[in-house]
Amino acid sequence: MHSYQSKELSEESSSIKQVGVIVSDGVILADLAEIAEVFFVADKILSSMFSRSNGYHFSLLSVMGGMITTSSSVQIGTLALKHVAMSAFDSIIIADGRGNFADYKNQQLLQWLRTPTADPRRIAALCTGVFVLAGAGLLDHRKVATHWALRDKLHREFPKVDIQSSDIIIQDENVFTSADSGTGAEIALSLIEDDLGGSFANRIEQSLTVRQHHQFKPAISRDSAFKTGEKRHRSDRIQKSLLWLEEHMASPINLADAADHVAMSERNFQREFKRETGQTPHSFLTRIRLEAACLYLKESDLPIEKIARRCGLVSGEHLSRLFRKHHGISPGEYRRKEDSPPPSPIILSTAHLHIHQS
């Protein structure tokens, strides 16, 4: 017998819950696969416990419907929003992807999300998906998580949104948001935990770990998924230093500044940081600065010199050297590559990404 915390499973409470995932061009395929896999495993476990229909049904939606090209150049089939009612879904998830920067101004999508008297029981957004929910006015005066490199843009365009910087995933009543890409599994598990309790979500996580031979990312842990970082044993001081480095990466900071912030000596700070994160503070700072530079190159037309300064680097030449060292190309080549048309797509014959049309 399994004991489930705070939620009680029974034949009467089991039913099919419809989950709609809204996608656009450039959607992160790995997120979709993770979401689908989590609900697939949940279905298997539930079907072993109950004889009647129960579990989750997963559908892919887009503004116009038809084939959508993912970030991996794989094409997936979707249903057009005009063919489905928002009220048909128990949960709506806005997937992460570059298309969200256009979608959050798409009036057809925003109007669909704002449909009165048709609100889903829960709504969630992965990383850039928060812009879509914010554009629809669904995040006003709510606490949300978003990627640190997007916080300024989100605040400028949607000042009523209460942006939080300490958590990877935040639940504010029936709204779930995540601060990073690659959090599809965590969001799906959060919804299932909300339905069926933490013990059931943990059971799914354990099943996923066995199924995938420990290839599922560590951040799926129920103990750590809601906190910044990858290791559940990370100390408060190192956790605090990570947040401080992210928040100040655009400034000319050094190791002594970070150590002082957490009241540690430089030597002890560097040793503990490396032990708990697997990288030096300098390496971590370089990585997040390069991540921010990549985002600016993809989503803005700012000159490379200005991007470098916004990312805490001394010059465009400095950024170019780091880019060639870590990416093997120049910032300009990276920008042209991101702006170029995608290669001929691969057509995905979806198994778990099943579209149901009634």
Per CATH, the number for 236-339 is: 1.10.10.60
pTM of the model: 0.63
- Provide mean pLDDT across the span 335-346: 59
For residue 85, give Cα distances in angstroms to 25, 61, 114, 124, 191. 22, 11, 12, 17, 21
pLDDT in tens, 70-122: 988 889 999 999 999 888 899 999 999 889 999 999 999 999 998 865 667 89
For residue 27, give the DSSP letter.
Answer: B
What confidence score (pLDDT) does residue 79 get? 94
Residue 162 pairs in a beta bridge with: 143
For residue 32, give Cα distances in angstroms to 95, 103, 144, 209, 225. 8, 18, 21, 18, 18
Strand pairing category for 91-94 and 16-22: parallel
Cβ atoms 30, 23 nearer than 8 A: no
For residues 200 and 317, which has the higher predicted lDDT (pLDDT)? 317
Spatial separation of the C-alpha atoms in residues 180 and 286, rounded to whole Å? 18
Strand pairing category for 66-69 and 74-80: antiparallel
Nearest to 19 by CA among 169, 215, 194, 158: 194
What confidence score (pLDDT) does residue 49 get? 63
CB contact set of 55 (below 8 Å; sequence gap of 6+):
14, 16, 17, 39, 42, 43, 46, 47
Cβ atoms 225, 202 nearer than 8 A: no
Cβ atoms 167, 143 nearer than 8 A: no
What confidence score (pLDDT) does residue 142 get? 94
Number of H helices, E strands in the chain: 14, 11
3-state secondary structure 203-221: HHHHHHHHHCCCCCCHHHC
**Per CATH, is 16-227 categorized as 1.10.287.70?**
no
Q: What is the length of the chain?
A: 358
- Provide mean pLDDT across the span 146-173: 89
pLDDT in tens, 255-287: 888 888 888 888 888 888 888 888 888 888 888
For residue 198, give Cα distances in angstroms to 194, 195, 204, 294, 305. 8, 9, 10, 37, 48
Buried b / exposed e along 139-175 (16+ C-beta atoms within 10 A):
beebbbbbbbbbbebbeeebeebebbeebbbbbeeeb
What confidence score (pLDDT) does residue 297 get? 84
Residue 22 pairs in a beta bridge with: 61, 94
pLDDT in tens, 224-249: 334 333 333 457 788 888 878 877 88
Phi-psi region of 174 (alpha: psi -120 to 50; beta: other; left: phi over 0): alpha
DSSP string, 264-287: --HHHHHHHHHHHHSS-HHHHHHH
What confidence score (pLDDT) does residue 160 get? 96
Residue 157: pLDDT above 90? yes
Residue 9: pLDDT above 70? no
CATH 1.10.10.60 domain range(s) in the chain: 236-339
Tally Cβ neighbours within 10 Å of residue 35: 29
What confidence score (pLDDT) does residue 81 get? 93
For residue 287, give Cα distances in angstroms to 3, 185, 332. 43, 24, 18
